Amino acid sequence: MSSRLLSNDLPRSRVLSVLLVLVVLGLAFAPFLFPSVKAINVAAKVLIFIALVVSFDLLLGYTGIVSFAHTMFFGIGAYGIAISVTALGSTWWALAVGAVGAVLLSLLLALLIGLFSLRVKAIFFAMITLAVASAFLTLASQLSDITGGEDGLTFRLPELLTPGFALMEDDFEGPFGAVALNGRFITYYLLFVTVVAMFLVMLRIVNSPFGRVLQAIRENDFRAEALGYRTVVYRTLSNVISASFATLAGCLLALWLRYNGPDTSLSFEIMLDVLLIVVIGGMGTLYGAVIGSVLFLVAQSYLQDLLRALGGLVDGVPLLPAILTPDRWLLWLGLLFVLSVYYFPTGIVGRLRERAAVARLAHKEPS
């Protein structure tokens, strides 16, 4: 049953299986295990980034396409919800209109970008998508009447998804503190269920005959073309599917934050974060999006706190307090990234699978 659910794409590593189970359980019970506001925000951000990174890995890891327009589709999803709810009111109908409209716009843009740009060389396609994403960011910042400009849009959601809505009058007493069973709690599990469904659908796509063709194009597009596959069509479809998933991830971001602005969903820093997560987790492995998102976002969120604690422990020691100051968290994050790439050149998931494969071969060899 689990094999069919995972489209026969099993982790193929005991260590990876354990890590994935721990991550899924941690995210599934995050409101009860980590009831603090910051921890829940980190868990929700991890879920959103898993959906976003999975969609980007379809392009980079499975098709071999480098695109810098991915955050544009992410922003379209977030702005679709924000603009629709602001204009039509805090209703479920407004949410549906915003999500559907955003997905349709992303599909159209992805189709146009794919058809007109994927015939050129990879580096030129990357530059074209960078230019399109920059233009869209400028447009979103300047159309203040629609997008709120640099200030963005703050909006209300249906009552069921608001913090003021209570499932119970009293908080639930969990093992690690009181848990408020309110609209925020419902929104978190809406994110969790949606991201799990998106992950399973993407897992099915990459393990289908269509996904195999994408991997063949990634390995050798000339050979795939010679075998009769129209590579431009397959690349365009990959771009369209990836854009639609990124748009849905943007919708989830807007639902969680109840706000959207240019820096929130269209920033180039988000694109860099996605690239780092793909490399850390492992390109061409959707499980890498899960592991990479957790490691990167937890480090990004708690590295300053860790450095502050370590700085207090070495207070009075020459040089160390200055090196371990929270202001230098980006330096340490960069160092962690360099070390991860050095020791895990195929990503964490790739390395774990390689070690498991070597262990299986060694076990089969006669003594």
pLDDT in tens, 151-173: 999 999 999 998 888 777 767 77
- Specify the range with the lowest mean pLDDT, choosing from 29-43, 98-112, 267-281, 323-337: 323-337
Say yes or no to pLDDT of 84 above 90: yes
Whether 139 shows a pLDDT value over 80: the answer reads: yes
Helical (H) or strand (E) element with 172? strand 172-174
280 CB-near residues (< 8 Å, 6+ apart): 288, 291, 292, 295, 296, 337, 340, 341, 344, 347, 348
Low-confidence winner among 42-56, 151-165, 172-186 (lowest mean pLDDT): 172-186
The fold adopted by the segment(s) 2-364 is: ABC transporter involved in vitamin B12 uptake, BtuC (1.10.3470)
Answer yes or no: are the C-beta atoms of 58 and 74 closer than 8 Å. no
- CA–CA gap between residue 16 and residue 337 (Å, rounded): 20
- Spell out the domain ranges in the chain: 2-364
pLDDT band, very low/low/confident/very high, at 65 (cuts 50, 70, 90): confident
Beta carbons of 260 and 253 less than 8 angstroms apart: yes
